[in-house]
Amino acid sequence: MAGFLMDTHIWLWMSTTPQRLGRVVRRRLENPRAELWVSPVSILEAQAAYRRGRLREIDNFTSWVSDSLSRFQIRSADMTRDVTM
């Protein structure tokens, strides 16, 4: 199965409120063969939302990122010139 680069809100919902995900998306994320990826930009966007108080369910942002990436086996997609072009 191909990799799945998650949008910021998909990653946030997966980690904090999975009931907000649609059935098709949830099935794709739960597939054990799926390679899940998140962009460093998504981490920055989540951090900005956290600092604005929009992610109240997260106590410690740094710990939450590490826990989320580890728990769901999410890889961080390197931001390179080749990726962006």
pLDDT at 70: 96
CB atoms within 10 A of CB 45: 16
Task: Give the pTM.
Answer: 0.85
Share of the chain above pLDDT 90, in %: 74
**Which two tokens mark 68?**
């989320």
Residue range of the domain that includes 50: 3-84
Structural domain total, the chain = 1
pLDDT of residue 79: 77
Q: What is the pLDDT of residues 24-64, one digit of tens each?
A: 999 999 898 889 999 999 999 999 999 999 999 899 999 99
Which residues touch 29 (CB under 8 Å, ≥6 apart)? 4, 6, 10, 14, 21, 36, 72
Burial class (CB in 10 A: 0-12, 13-18, 19+), 59: exposed
